[in-house]
Amino acid sequence: MEELKNMKHNDETTKEQYKEYVKTVTPTKNLWLQMAKAFLVGGIICVIGQGILNYCKSLGIDKETAGSWCSLLLVLLSVLLTGLNIYPGIASFGGAGALVPITGFANSVAAPAIEFKKEGQVFGVGAKIFTIAGPVILYGIFASWLFGLIYWFATVFGWV
């Protein structure tokens, strides 16, 4: 019986020591500072995008085409910065501010392709390119299909 008490006491002591260890090695982050950084980086990306839109409009390009050029150039810029190993630093600093816009999506597609290119075109780039972005694409397509089906039923039955 005494051995059981000792084992239980040792177990609790070990758990407490582990909790203390986790507290010491877990990085603490200031939520307000992280939000400010995300706002700053996301805002800068949006300002760049707005600059591209304004420039395209000044050239006489219609709004829809200017939006397409803006998306294209932001994706290109993101992929180039990822290839030059600059975007990971931006994402590390800005958090969701760099990962949520279209530039973050482009980064999530380009980064695995760059990382696994040494394994070859098929088993490296081809197999790993959509590792991160694949679920987003899959569920995005599925959701658009589902909502399209719901909309179609709504129009057939005269609900919309």
- Model's pTM, two decimal places? 0.65
Mean pLDDT of 16-22: 84
**Which residue shows structure tokens 């203390």?**
20
Query: Which among 23-27, 68-72, 128-132, 135-139 has the top mean pLDDT?
Result: 68-72
- Which pLDDT band, with edges at 50, 70 and 90, does 7 fall under? low
CA angle 85, 87, 88 (to 5 degrees): 75
Question: Tell me: the pLDDT tens digits for 38-50?
Answer: 999 999 999 999 9
Better pLDDT: 156 or 129 = 156
pLDDT of residue 150: 96
Chain-centre distance for alpha carbon 26: 23
Domain residue spans in the chain?
Answer: 36-111
For 29, left (φ over 0), alpha (ψ -120 to 50), or beta?
A: beta
Average pLDDT score, the chain: 85
**What string of DSSP letters covers 82-138?**
HHTT-HHHHHHHHTHHHHSSHHHHHHHHHHHHHHTGGG-IIIIIIHHTTTTTHHHHH
CB 111 within 8 A of CB 88: yes
